[in-house]
């Protein structure tokens, strides 16, 4: 069993093609692995024992885990909220539909912070997922379940969603690759809306190749999502040959004190990796960067307050008994939503209210444009920007939950690329003294996913982090 669960998509497909194993057997092995490991890690809200797959697909029976804010036909989709605890959608998200057509089997739905609001999965209404490297620590969030499932060899690949860092941050905490593509690269149809101008489906895997396979399947225009892009989908797995002496990397300047000691030391080593490989490196300053966090919490909360208005106890989900309509709304929403979700709705409603709209929301929108412009300007002279993914390593469960502001700071490095809509990836780097991994981020220009994944592949060929994951979690 230890052999199969550590295989990548290419190897798993070959096993099926050569008929060394039937899709049923292969799927069952992964299901048993989840049964065996997940009572400790808690990656999954829903596990699906019965295999189903499209016979015509190339990836028959290969399991994939889906974050539980992505709609799956006939499979409970809860958003880790009491509101949607029993919601069974009648249709598939476009990304899910495309994965199924390629043969993939949905093996389960993974845990998250309620409606993807958070950085630790502690805001899940059901339970907290554990970091597989250290069960006392958080896996990151909001896509913590998907990141933990991939790290602990429960599944080879998983989908998450990233609004301000929710794929890259848990990928860093769990030591896996996590890609947030360009805004519009993957259809958002069936991704439950948090902040529509920022939300993007992202991909977790233990190597860049597996990410590139999934991206190719799910990327591309979708008539059901007007913000999906018609830019041509590439053969992302047909990597470019990276020539370091012709590749220019900008190193983002930021205040020294924003990194914890362990992350700072590792980051210096990470930069040296590129220097030693003869990449052309130069420091750049993006002065608007530091406003990203503030702008994000105004814009994301404003959009959330509008998007979450649909959960009223009438049309969807939980309905509390009441004598009149006003009480019904009030009781349903106050019972159905958790603390963090309510906090965002209040903040967003305030920012959008008349009298404050210009002062907060409109100003935030202007600063957002400035941040996007400033990042874009860097790409006139550089191929990539490198920077940390998170200011610190995975923190202890409970450590930050009473201090939302400190939790928000986890997103300092991931938010600006989201505000600008740029593609960005977490590269796992090393396991630090505390016993958990640290990862760093690379950003590329719009729709440069192929270039970004090619660089990630160059990196993985040298760093071989996947071997570390396999050695650690094989048994
Ligand atoms: N941690 C950020 C937040 O709570 C980002 C969440 C996300 O990307 N979904 O808003």
Q: What is the pLDDT of residue 315?
A: 83
Atom 10, ligand 1: which residue's CA is nearest? 117
Determine which of 116-120, 246-250, 309-313 has the lowest per-residue pLDDT on average.
309-313
Q: Assess whether the previous peptide bond of 142 is cis (omega < 30° from 0).
A: yes
Q: What is the DSSP letter of 392?
A: S
Average pLDDT, whole number, for the chain?
A: 96
| 272 CA from centroid of ligand 1 (Å) | 30
| 411 CA from centroid of ligand 1 (Å) | 8
Q: Which atom of ligand 1 is nearest to the CA of 340?
A: 4
| 1 CA from centroid of ligand 1 (Å) | 36
Helix axes 144-151, 23-41, angle to 10 degrees: 120
Average pLDDT value for residue range 268-275:
98
CB of 162 within 6 A of ligand 1: the answer is yes
Span between the terminal Cα atoms of the chain, in Å: 9
CB of 117 within 6 A of ligand 1: the answer is yes
Q: What is the DSSP letter of 321?
A: -
Query: Contact, 42 vs 128, CB < 8 A?
Result: yes
| 389 CA from centroid of ligand 1 (Å) | 13
Query: Contact, 451 vs 444, CB < 8 A?
Result: yes
| 118 CA from centroid of ligand 1 (Å) | 5
Task: Assess whether pLDDT exceeds 60 at residue 96.
Answer: yes
More confident residue, 18 or 475: 18
The 10s digit of each residue's pLDDT in 325-374 is: 999 999 999 999 999 999 999 999 999 998 899 999 999 999 999 999 99
CB of 199 within 6 A of ligand 1: the answer is no
Query: Contact, 206 vs 469, CB < 8 A?
Result: yes
Q: Which atom of ligand 1 is nearest to the CA of 297?
A: 10
All structural domains of the chain: 2-244+385-473 (3.90.1300.10)
Determine which of 15-19, 226-230, 253-257 has the lowest per-residue pLDDT on average.
253-257
261 SS3 class: helix
Q: What is the pLDDT of residue 256?
A: 83
Residues with a known catalytic role: 67, 142, 166
Atom 5, ligand 1: which residue's CA is nearest? 164
CB of 191 within 6 A of ligand 1: the answer is no
Please name which of 116, 115, 147, 143 lies closest in space to residue 131, comparing C-alpha atoms: 147
Mutate to test the pocket of ligand 1, among 115, 300, 404 (most ligand atoms within 8 A of CB): 300
Mutate to test the pocket of ligand 1, among 394, 411, 441 (most ligand atoms within 8 A of CB): 411
Average pLDDT value for residue range 168-180:
98
CB of 414 within 6 A of ligand 1: the answer is no
**Which residues, 6+ apart, have CB-to-CB distance to 177 below 8 Å?**
171, 204, 205, 206, 207, 208, 211, 425, 426, 427, 428, 456, 460
| 156 CA from centroid of ligand 1 (Å) | 24
């Amino acid at each position: 069993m230890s052999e199969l669960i550590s295989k990548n998509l290419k190897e798993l497909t070959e096993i099926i093609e050569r008929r060394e194993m039937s899709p049923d057997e292969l799927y069952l092995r992964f299901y048993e692995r989840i049964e065996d490991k997940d009572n400790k890690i808690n990656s999954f809200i829903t596990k699906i024992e019965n295999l189903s797959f499209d016979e015509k697909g190339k990836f028959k029976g290969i399991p994939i885990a889906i974050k539980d804010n992505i709609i799956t036909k006939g499979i409970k989709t809860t958003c880790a909220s009491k509101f949607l605890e029993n919601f069974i959608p009648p249709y598939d998200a476009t990304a899910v539909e495309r994965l199924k057509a390629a043969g993939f089997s949905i093996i389960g739905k993974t845990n998250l912070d309620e409606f993807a609001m958070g950085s630790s999965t502690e805001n899940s209404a059901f339970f907290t997922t554990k970091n597989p490297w250290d069960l006392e620590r958080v896996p990151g969030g909001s896509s913590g379940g998907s990141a933990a499932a991939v790290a602990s060899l429960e599944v080879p690949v998983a989908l998450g969603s990233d609004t301000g860092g929710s794929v890259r941050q848990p990928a860093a905490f769990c030591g896996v690759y996590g890609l947030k593509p360009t805004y519009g690269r993957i259809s958002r149809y069936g991704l439950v809306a948090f902040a529509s101008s920022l939300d993007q489906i992202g991909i977790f895997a233990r190597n860049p190749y597996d990410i590139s396979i999934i991206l190719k399947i799910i990327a591309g225009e979708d008539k059901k999502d007007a913000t999906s892009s018609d830019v041509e989908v590439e053969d992302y797995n047909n990597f470019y040959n990276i020539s370091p002496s012709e590749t220019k990397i900008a190193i983002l300047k930021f205040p020294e004190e924003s990194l914890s000691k362990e992350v700072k030391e590792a980051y210096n080593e990470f930069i040296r990796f590129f220097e030693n490989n003869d990449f052309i490196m130069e420091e750049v300053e993006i002065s608007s960067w530091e406003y990203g966090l503030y702008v994000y919490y105004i814009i994301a909360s404003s959009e959330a307050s509008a998007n979450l208005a649909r959960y009223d106890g009438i049309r969807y989900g939980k309905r509390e008994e009441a004598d009149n309509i006003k009480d019904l709304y009030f009781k349903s929403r106050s019972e159905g939503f958790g603390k963090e979700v309510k906090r965002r709705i209040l903040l967003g409603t305030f920012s959008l209210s008349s009298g404050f709209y210009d002062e907060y929301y409109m100003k935030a929108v202007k600063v957002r444009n400035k941040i996007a412009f400033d990042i874009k300007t860097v790409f006139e002279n550089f191929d990539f920007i490198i920077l940390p993914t998170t200011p610190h390593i995975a923190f202890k469960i409970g450590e930050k939950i009473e201090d939302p502001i400190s939790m928000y700071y986890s997103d300092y490095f991931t938010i600006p690329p989201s505000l600008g809509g740029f593609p960005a990836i977490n590269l796992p780097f090393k396991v630090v003294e505390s016993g958990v991994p640290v990862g760093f981020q690379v950003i590329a220009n719009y729709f440069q996913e192929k270039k970004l994944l090619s660089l990630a592949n160059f990196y993985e060929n040298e760093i071989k982090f996947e071997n570390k994951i396999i050695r650690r979690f094989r048994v």
